[in-house]
């Protein structure tokens, strides 16, 4: 084959490769069409006895800014279930030096018979932030507001630090250890080990592992999924909280160890801004992000919010199955 023919063949192949990739994504089952009351921001979903509960950021002036909760019998049709807790805890003002107006970005998990509900307290543009914890030994998704006890501060950051203690996510891994991922902007996403039973740090000087960053740029909302012997770090890039002007998008990287290093599909380290795109704005689904990976009886799912351009930019829940490519990368069906 002459060089001209070879070049033409390579050019044709270059055209066909992205077409094949797009056809692969289009062949996946579409994401579920959720119904009912799906208004929520920064969702964290758990399944208990076949029922689902979704926890999200509290709203200023409603339930004193307490964590919002929605419930569902099937993970598709959702109902508002009020709030969790009594709003911003009493310890917050003394710890932070100001009074936060609402509770941000909760995350729920279960270890043996105890449910752990982490949350954060902050204000926009500041890293004077704190992560707190509530626990329950009797969580009932039909009565989600009952039985919670605040356990106080887990960790915090101040303007002297190079990280921001918000957007917590707990993961209990297969070897029995537990970890808390957190972080936003500044130097990025961090990881520290937890005492699995108490839910607090193993010690005040427990090592801090750096997982991902964008040299001070927009990255947050980390969650980690253990799948097939590897760890997958999901994060949100760019801007949230601006309604239809939001630019959030969901990215992922993969590691052999929970501490990293996390590399994207092109082998770029997430500490250097790497992150394979999972989902970006699609039609009326603006700025998807605030995501959290969760294992359910239906398989591995991704909960996230988007801003609905058909409803004035309201933040809404999406809860969708994760699919896996032949080379072990997560993807979502079409919206």
Check if the beta carbon of residue 191 is closer than 8 Å to that of residue 211. Answer: yes
pLDDT in tens, 260-304: 999 999 999 999 999 999 999 999 999 999 999 999 999 999 999
Judged against a pLDDT cut of 50, whether residue 19 lies above it is answered with no
Can you give the pTM of this predicted structure?
0.91
pLDDT of 60: 85
Residue 92 belongs to what H/E stretch?
helix 91-96
Query: Is residue 61 very low, low, confident or very high in pLDDT (cuts 50, 70, 90)?
Result: confident
- HSE toward the beta carbon, residue 213, CA cutoff 13 A: 16
**What is d(CA 101, CA 126) in angstroms, rounded to the nearest whole number?**
14
Average of per-residue pLDDT across 189-209: 96
Asked whether residue 168 is domain-assigned, the answer is yes
Among residues 42, 47, 193, 292, the one annotated as catalytic is 42
Q: What is the mean pLDDT of the chain?
A: 92
Judged against a pLDDT cut of 70, whether residue 7 lies above it is answered with no
Asked whether residue 5 is domain-assigned, the answer is no
**What is d(CA 277, CA 328) in angstroms, rounded to the nearest whole number?**
14
pLDDT of 18: 36
CB-count burial class (<10 Å; 0-12, 13-18, 19+) for 83:
buried
- Pairing state between β 77-84 and 35-36: parallel
Number of domains in the chain: 1
pLDDT of 29: 96
pLDDT of 11: 38
CB atoms within 10 A of CB 155: 22
Asked whether residue 314 is domain-assigned, the answer is yes
pLDDT of 142: 87
Asked whether residue 8 is domain-assigned, the answer is no
- Pairing state between β 184-186 and 178-182: unpaired
Asked whether residue 171 is domain-assigned, the answer is yes
Asked whether residue 18 is domain-assigned, the answer is no
Query: Which residues, in sequence order, are CB contacts of 211 under 8 Å at separation 6+?
Result: 181, 183, 188, 189, 190, 191, 222, 233, 259, 260, 262, 270, 271
**What is d(CA 5, CA 2) in angstroms, rounded to the nearest whole number?**
5
**What is d(CA 102, CA 247) in angstroms, rounded to the nearest whole number?**
23
Check if the beta carbon of residue 243 is closer than 8 Å to that of residue 307. Answer: yes
pLDDT of 5: 39
In the chain the first and final C-alpha atoms are separated, in Å, by: 43
| Range with the poorest average pLDDT among 57-66, 111-120, 193-202 | 57-66
pLDDT in tens, 115-171: 999 999 999 889 999 999 999 999 998 889 889 999 999 999 999 999 999 999 999
Judged against a pLDDT cut of 50, whether residue 13 lies above it is answered with no
Query: Which residues, in sequence order, are CB contacts of 217 under 8 Å at separation 6+?
Result: 185, 273
pLDDT of 103: 97
Q: Give the start-end residues of each E strand in 57-93.
A: 67-72, 77-84
Torsion angle of the four alpha carbons 281, 309, 119, 79, in this order, in degrees rounded to the nearest 10: -120
Judged against a pLDDT cut of 90, whether residue 17 lies above it is answered with no
DSSP 252-283: EEEESSTT---B-TT--BGGGT--EEEE--BT
- Does the annotation count 42 as an active-site position? yes
List the one residue out of 303, 323, 333, 332 whose CA is nearest residue 38.
303
Among residues 47, 167, 220, 264, the one annotated as catalytic is 220
Q: Domain of 249: which CATH number?
A: 2.115.10.20
pLDDT of 62: 77
- Does the annotation count 259 as an active-site position? no
Query: Is residue 86 very low, low, confident or very high in pLDDT (cuts 50, 70, 90)?
Result: confident
Asked whether residue 13 is domain-assigned, the answer is no
Asked whether residue 9 is domain-assigned, the answer is no
Q: Which domain holds residue 217?
A: 31-331
Q: Give the start-end residues of each E strand in 97-148.
A: 104-111, 114-121, 129-136
List the one residue out of 169, 165, 130 whose CA is nearest residue 150.
130
Judged against a pLDDT cut of 70, whether residue 23 lies above it is answered with no
């Amino acid at each position: 084959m002459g060089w001209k023919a070879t070049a033409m063949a390579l050019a044709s192949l270059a055209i066909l490769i992205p077409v094949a990739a797009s056809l692969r994504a289009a062949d996946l089952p579409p994401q579920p069409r959720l119904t009912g009351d799906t208004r929520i921001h920064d969702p964290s979903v758990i399944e208990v006895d076949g029922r689902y509960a979704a926890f999200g950021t509290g709203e200023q002036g409603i339930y004193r800014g307490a964590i919002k909760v929605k419930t569902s019998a099937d993970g598709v049709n959702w109902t508002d279930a009020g709030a969790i807790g009594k709003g911003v805890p009493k310890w917050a003002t003394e710890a932070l030096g100001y009074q936060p107006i609402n509770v941000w970005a909760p995350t729920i998990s279960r270890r043996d018979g105890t449910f752990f509900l982490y949350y954060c307290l902050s204000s926009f543009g500041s890293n004077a932030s704190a992560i707190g914890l509530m626990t329950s030994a009797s969580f009932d998704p039909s009565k989600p507001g009952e039985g919670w006890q605040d356990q106080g501060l887990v960790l915090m950051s101040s303007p002297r630090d190079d990280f921001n203690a918000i957007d917590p996510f707990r993961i209990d891994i297969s070897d029995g250890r537990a970890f808390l991922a957190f972080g936003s902007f500044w130097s990025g996403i961090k990881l520290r080990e937890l005492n699995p039973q108490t839910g607090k740090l193993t010690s005040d000087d427990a090592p801090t592992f750096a997982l991902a960053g964008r040299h001070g740029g927009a990255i947050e909302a980390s969650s980690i999924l253990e799948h097939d012997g590897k760890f997958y770090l999901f994060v949100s890039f760019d801007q949230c909280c601006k309604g239809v002007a939001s630019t959030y998008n969901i990215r992922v990287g993969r590691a052999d160890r929970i501490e990293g290093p996390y590399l994207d599909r092109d082998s770029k380290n997430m500490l250097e801004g790497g992150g394979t795109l999972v989902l970006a704005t699609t039609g009326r689904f603006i700025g998807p992000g605030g995501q959290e990976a969760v294992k359910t009886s239906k398989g591995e799912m991704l909960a996230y919010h988007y801003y609905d351009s058909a409803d004035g930019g309201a933040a809404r829940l999406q809860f969708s199955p994760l699919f896996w490519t032949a080379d072990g990368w997560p993807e979502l069906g079409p919206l």
